[in-house]
């Protein structure tokens, strides 16, 4: 799924093979619709239709675009599903990203902006108003795919399971009558964790500057771009968001990363349905107060944590 391995872990006394297979099929279907790298994907066809009026899309793609636009509005544009031309300019959709010319970035920003995307959920159609525009759903589609799998697993009778798309995950029920234990990765040591969360029936997603980046002139350029500047967002190393749905957790982790520490903390305080953990460039940690009783910090980390 968009370059990430998806794992389903489940606990049951029964055999559930067809249910699990259905869940994987659903994930593959989402990928075939929304992966921009696939020339035949629905998303590639939407992008090819930019500037030419409405384009009919499947209900799942329409749903993700609608939700992506909603999160764009709620985060003041920090989340923007219309960044495809910019991501392509940087080459973050390829194996060889590179630093573009300042003038190319400015020119490309004219072809982005979620306010130039129209989604008509009643007729399942989408319009990109200008030629050269394009959607990139890389910050939200994985979360949606996890949620699709979760509802199929539930409908198939499973109660205790985790669907994990490379760290963006949902944990359902409990693990042998205890909550599931989920680690938050250390941005500098991908195999180490800074904390363990105890979770049940919740989604978690993390966005970090260590997933996809290159270094030039001693500066790290990573794949989470600030739609306002056209450059990688600065200030944070990683953002973890907890939510009821994986789609929201996925998109909000990206959005709050772009907002930066101060704005992101304010946003979470004003939206108590979500909780978050931020790691800044000084490796200081800021966490929602609601997580205090659910979190076990690594010993070396404990003294760096501030709750909000």
Query: Which residue ranges make up the site for ligand ADP (CB under 6 A)?
Result: 79-81, 83, 87, 92, 136, 138-139, 168, 207, 211, 223-225, 227, 250, 253-254, 258
Q: Residue 274 touches which of ligand ADP, Mg ion, none (CB < 5 to 8 A by kind)?
A: none
Q: How far is the CB of 10 from ligand ADP (least distance, A)?
A: 23
Rule CB under 5 A: which of 188-207 touch Mg ion? 207
Both tokens assigned to 196: 């363990």
Pick one of 26, 34, 162, 253: the residue that binds Mg ion (CB under 5 A).
253
Q: Residue 136 touches which of ligand ADP, Mg ion, none (CB < 5 to 8 A by kind)?
A: ligand ADP
Compare residues 202 and 223 and give the one whose CB is closer to ligand ADP: 223
3-state class (DSSP) for residue 35: coil
Q: Is beta strand 213-216 parallel, antiparallel or unpaired with respect to 275-280? A: unpaired
Q: How far apart are the first and last CA of the chain?
A: 35
Q: Report if residue 243 touches Mg ion, rule: CB under 5 A.
A: no
Q: How far is the CB of 171 from Mg ion (least distance, A)?
A: 17
Q: How far is the CB of 164 from Mg ion (least distance, A)?
A: 14
Cβ atoms of residues 168 and 205 within 8 Å: yes
3-state class (DSSP) for residue 49: coil
Q: How far is the CB of 86 from ligand ADP (least distance, A)?
A: 8
Q: Contact region for Mg ion (CB under 5 A) — 38-46, 84-92, 230-238, 243-251?
A: 243-251
Pick one of 72, 139, 230, 276: the residue that binds Mg ion (CB under 5 A).
139
Q: Residue 114 touches which of Mg ion, ligand ADP, none (CB < 5 to 8 A by kind)?
A: none
Q: Residue 138 touches which of Mg ion, ligand ADP, none (CB < 5 to 8 A by kind)?
A: ligand ADP
Determine the residue with CB nearest ligand ADP.
138
Q: How far, in Å, CA of 246 to CA of 176, rounded? A: 23
Q: CB burial class (10 A; 0-12, 13-18, 19+) of residue 105?
A: middle
Q: How far, in Å, CA of 128 to CA of 118, rounded? A: 7
55, 237, 280, 302 from 299: Cα distances, Å: 53, 20, 18, 5
Q: How far, in Å, CA of 246 to CA of 67, rounded? A: 12
Residue 87 sits at the vertex; the CA angle it makes with 46 and 59, to the nearest 5 degrees, is 30
Q: How far is the CB of 240 from Mg ion (least distance, A)?
A: 10
HSE at residue 70, side-chain half, CA atoms within 13 A, is 11
The two most distant CA atoms of the chain are separated, in Å, by 60
Q: Which residues of 150-168 are buried (b: 16+ CB within 10 A; e: fewer)?
A: bebbeeeebebbbbbbbbb
Q: How far is the CB of 63 from Mg ion (least distance, A)?
A: 17
Q: Residue 276 touches which of ligand ADP, Mg ion, none (CB < 5 to 8 A by kind)?
A: none
Q: Residue 87 touches which of Mg ion, ligand ADP, none (CB < 5 to 8 A by kind)?
A: ligand ADP
Q: How far, in Å, CA of 213 to CA of 107, rounded? A: 23
Q: How far is the CB of 159 from ligand ADP (least distance, A)?
A: 27
Binding site for Mg ion (CB under 5 A): 139, 207, 250, 253-254
């Amino acid at each position: 799924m968009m370059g990430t391995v998806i794992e389903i872990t489940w606990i049951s006394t029964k055999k559930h093979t067809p249910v699990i297979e259905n869940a994987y099929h659903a994930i593959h279907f989402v990928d075939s619709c929304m992966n921009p790298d696939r020339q035949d994907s629905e998303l590639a066809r939407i992008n090819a239709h930019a500037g030419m009026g409405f384009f009919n899309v499947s209900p799942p793609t329409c749903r993700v675009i609608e939700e992506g636009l909603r999160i764009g509005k709620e985060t003041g544009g920090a989340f923007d599903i219309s960044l495809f031309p910019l991501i392509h300019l940087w080459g973050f959709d390829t194996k060889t990203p590179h630093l573009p010319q300042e003038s190319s970035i400015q020119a490309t920003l004219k072809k982005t902006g979620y306010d130039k995307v129209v989604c008509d959920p009643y007729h399942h159609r989408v319009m990109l108003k200008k030629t050269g525009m394009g959607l990139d759903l890389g910050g939200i589609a994985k979360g949606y795919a996890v949620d699709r799998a979760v509802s199929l697993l539930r409908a198939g009778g499973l109660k205790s399971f985790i669907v994990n798309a490379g760290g963006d995950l949902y944990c359902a029920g409990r693990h042998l009558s205890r909550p599931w234990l989920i680690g938050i990765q250390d941005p500098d040591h991908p195999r180490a964790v800074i904390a363990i969360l105890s979770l049940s029936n919740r989604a978690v997603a993390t966005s970090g500057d260590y997933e996809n980046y290159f270094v030039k002139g001693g500066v790290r350029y990573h794949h989470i771009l600030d739609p306002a500047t056209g450059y990688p967002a600065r200030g944070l190393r990683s953002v973890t968001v907890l939510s009821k749905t994986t789609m929201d957790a996925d998109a909000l982790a990206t959005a709050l990363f772009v907002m930066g520490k101060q704005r992101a903390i304010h946003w979470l305080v004003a939206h108590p349905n979500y909780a978050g953990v931020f790691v800044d460039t000084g490796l200081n940690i800021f966490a929602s107060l609601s997580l205090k009783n659910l979190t076990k910090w690594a010993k070396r980390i404990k003294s760096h944590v501030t709750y909000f």
